[in-house]
Amino acid sequence: MNRIFFFLILPCLLFAGEHNVPLGTQSNQFIYTITNSRNRPLENMEVIVHSAPEWMHFQQECIFLETIPSMGRGEVCFQFDVSEGQSNQTGDVTLIVRKINCQCAIATHTISFRTILNLADSDLLEPYPNPSNSSATIPFALKEDAQVTMIVYNILGQRVQTCLDEKRSAGRWSILWDGKDEYGRMVSSGVYVIHFQTRMDGKERTWNKKLLLAK
């Protein structure tokens, strides 16, 4: 869980620096503190996520503050998930502070975010669910842009399905194997091997993970 803290003194317009958030993470948080510099309380306030990049998914886009005392502070906590995708994406979150049922903003705050990879190297991650009774999600991470191939083999080493064969950008990704072979037929229960290969600048690297289908 990543936690980021912001402060806003009313009334004003602020622009924060850029903040890194890891790809494919859940329940990230930023704490937003409003300081009321007025000589009277602020009542029935709300903080709204007015806009956000498509790869950020907020669990709650509007948080209510009943009272912010005179010369005091009010605090809200926004939780968000970050989609899988390309590393080094940037985007802005714009927050609006206003009285409930009033379209006029008391203040706005723009916060810039950038997606990052927490892994030190490319990797084939653990498929899930494992065991599976039908399909499985197979995540992987690329430290750099690369040509990638993902093939599912049975325990006898026979090719079952080529799930991926294309160039991908650096980032965190996942592929859904539908539990079928190249001809669209459901495969039988058993152990399958996920073979993952990257090719970049003439260099190849390979990873293998086992997946159990139990129907």
- The pLDDT tens digits of the residues spanning 29-43 come to 988 888 888 888 888
Instruction: Label residue 9 by pLDDT band (50, 70, 90).
Output: very low
pLDDT of residue 188: 94
The fold for domain 123-213 equals: Immunoglobulin-like (2.60.40)
pLDDT of residue 15: 42
Q: How large is the average pLDDT for residues 134-160?
A: 95
Confidence of residue 170 (pLDDT cuts 50, 70, 90): very high
Question: What pLDDT, in 10s, does the model give residues 52-102?
Answer: 999 999 999 999 999 989 888 888 999 999 999 999 999 999 999 998 888
> Is domain 3-116 annotated with CATH 2.60.40.10?
yes
**Pairwise CA distance, residues 130 & 138, whole Å:** 10
User: Which residues make up the CATH 2.60.40.10 domain(s) of the chain?
Assistant: 3-116
Of residues 90, 140, 104, 111, the one with CA closest to residue 32: 111
SS3 204: strand
The ranges of the chain annotated as CATH 2.60.40.4070 are: 123-213
Q: What is the pLDDT of residue 139?
A: 96
User: Given a cut of 80, is residue 151 above it in pLDDT?
Assistant: yes
Closest CA to 94 of 58, 140, 129, 130: 58
Q: Residue 2: its pLDDT value, please?
A: 58
Q: What does the pLDDT look like over 178-211, one tens digit per residue?
A: 999 999 999 999 999 999 999 988 889 999 999 9
